[in-house]
Structure 1
Amino acid sequence: MIITEILDLKEKEMISAVGGGGKTTLLFNLALELSKVEKKVLLSTTTKIYLPGPERDFKLILGEKEEILDKIKAEKNLIVITGKRIVEENKLEGLDKSFYNKIFEKNIFDYILIEADGSKRKPIKFHAYYEPVIPELTTKVIGIVGLDCMGEKLDNQIFHRAEDFCREFGYKIGDNIDEKMVADLIISGKGLFKTSPDDSEKILIFNKADNPHRQSWANKIIKEIKKRSDNLSLAKILITSFDKNIFMTDNGGKS
């Protein structure tokens, strides 16, 4: 129960994940943890997500909104994945955010987990004007930065929408990604937590902290954020490696 405990989940939540560096892995692992304690979970997207392998225990329901609504009401499986259709590269195309708000209000599931933007599997991203697509009833927004971007060159190989980020913040393609650059992305109203509901909890996760060097980068970013922003209302900052099952708070505490 590592993830559920460290996120301090309440009895009923809608959680939206944004950014890069492990959104899908986080949400699928969270769904599995919740199902082990008999919680009913809906996992979906307002954009597109890669589907898990066939070894995962879930029920996939596809179709239009009213058709899906009828099916999920009767579904007994504890993990339901839903969307409009399967498209290229085994990706699931999701539905509009109003649909998930409706399901949340109907109390069909204990938890709704939404991937609210795409990053093309890159560790860090800057949102396009239409992103992220976060349902208004979201209770927690999890923003993720992959620490494997740190010290790398700012370009489209590592940073999704690098040119847009440069135009917004005055950087240049080829600059080294450092703690100041990442702090700009996190602190800005046009950055990582853009469009988050005002009353939602914001949780910042630095993922892929696989070694002490990357963990040191995370601490540098946290120090830079705290130095520059007194009004960034983050409920929690975590340093994690989903692959190695590492979960630390920003004060070094381990879970």
Structure 2
Amino acid sequence: MFPRILLPGYKACHGDNDKSANSTPKPSMVISLIGAGGKTSTLFWLANQYRQRQLSVLVTTTTKMYLPSSQQADYIISLSTSQNIPLPRRSSQIEYLTGQHQLHIARSGISFAYQSLIPEQCNTNNSLAQDVTPLKVQGVAPQDIDALAAMGLFDVILVEADGAKHRWVKCPDSHEPALPRHSDIVIAVTGAEALGKPVSDRHIHRLARFSRITGCKAGERLTLMHLARLIRHPDGMFKQVPTGCRCIWLLNKACQCNLWQGEGCSDKALAPARLRQLLNSHRQLDAIWLADMDIPALYQVITP
């Protein structure tokens, strides 16, 4: 299953953020991922879906991210020319490139672009420490991604625009998320395995802010209604989303969990109807996806 809204050419934007089909060159479609509990796996699932459709894809981040494997990317591009780039393993099929001009070369398949290597991974000779695997990199500034999108070199740009310290649920801080202004679609990911479990900083990133916004205190069991409050709150899940951007909430590993635990409802057949009620009560939200990105698979798309 691959929703039509994700295809370049589909009118994904409206209002102030609309990109006219008459513009030259045609800007790249920008999809930004925020939240927790499966952003990176969703990012590369999307990238692979586009590659299968013979579309060119640029994957990047505005925060920090590990370099992808040869199964995830065809090209790795360092936008900084002042740093060494990692030497590929003998078995690697990835081509390593340096400099923004290389973006013109890597037009097919999946390209991954980053700004620079995290400094602590380099030794005193400014070369890569050989015992660090995998390598972590610093991402690209949101405004630079907007500029890349305007160049139209790729059909799609996929952006990991949030960090969550490997937690399942994320409440953004005042400076988060780091979204490109011209994002066409924002996908907020939540790990559904947190539902029904006692709320703690083991599962929730920015627990104090989460509790203030949702009213769910440490030790209480997390319910879908707590997450609904996080979605609706102006400082919650979709904070700082650009005007006119499509908003999607992805519940990862939803089919492995009882979405209604703690809600007085044990009938999973009612879940789509209840989720649709939540969707209709939040004007900014365009769709809810139920998925398991460990497989990976998108099981169900719920729309108003």
Q: Given the two structures, how large is their TM-score scaled by the length of structure 2?
A: 0.74
Match of 1:237 among 288, 292, 295: 288
Match of 2:194 among 122, 140, 149: 149
Q: Which amino acid in 2 is paired with 1:211?
A: Q
Which has the higher mean CA deviation after the structures are superposed, 20-29 or 67-76?
67-76
The 3 A distance-change label for structure 1 pair 19 and 81 is same
Q: Deviations over 1:125-154 (max 9, x none)?
A: 100111001101100000111110001111
What is the CA-CA distance between 1:77 and the residue it aligns to? 4.2
Q: Deviations over 1:38-92 (max 9, x none)?
A: 2111100000123332333421111339973212123344211111223366222
Structure 2 residue 112 is matched with structure 1 residue 81: yes
Match of 2:216 among 171, 193, 197: 171
Residue 120 of structure 1: aligned partner: 165
What is the CA-CA distance between 1:94 and the residue it aligns to? 0.2
Match of 2:299 among 229, 247, 251: 247
CA distance in 1, matches of 2:274, 2:207: 19
Residue 108 of structure 1: aligned partner: 153
CA distance in 2, matches of 1:56, 1:78: 10
Indicate the RMSD between aligned Cα atoms, in angstroms: 2.5
After superposing on structure 2, the runs of 4+ consecutive aligned residues of structure 1 that deviate more than 4 Å are 217-221
SS of residue matched to 2:288: strand
Residue 75 of structure 2: aligned partner: 59
Structure 2 residue 32 is matched with structure 1 residue 34: no
Q: Which amino acid in 1 is paired with 2:99?
A: I
What is the CA-CA distance between 1:178 and the residue it aligns to? 0.8
Residue 278 of structure 2: aligned partner: 225
Q: Which amino acid in 2 is paired with 1:75?
A: A
Q: Which amino acid in 2 is paired with 1:46?
A: T
Unaligned 5+ segments in structure 1 are none
Unaligned 5+ segments in structure 2 are 10-27, 83-97, 122-133, 261-267
Q: Given the two structures, how large is their TM-score scaled by the length of structure 1?
A: 0.87
Match of 1:47 among 51, 63, 74: 63
What are the equivalent positions in structure 2 for 1:186-205 lying under 5 Å apart? 186-205=231-250
* Greater percentage in helix: 1
Q: Which amino acid in 1 is paired with 2:67?
A: L
Q: Which amino acid in 2 is paired with 1:249?
A: V
CA distance in 2, matches of 1:90, 1:220: 43
Q: Which amino acid in 1 is paired with 2:115?
A: K
Flag the structure with larger Rg. 2
CA distance in 1, matches of 2:64, 2:294: 22
Residue 7 of structure 2: aligned partner: 9
The share of aligned pairs that are identical, in percent, is: 26
Residues matched between the structures, number: 247
Q: Answer whether contact 2:68 2:112 (CA < 8 A) is retained.
A: no
Q: Answer whether contact 1:180 1:224 (CA < 8 A) is retained.
A: no
CA distance in 2, matches of 1:32, 1:176: 36
Q: Answer whether contact 1:59 1:77 (CA < 8 A) is retained.
A: no
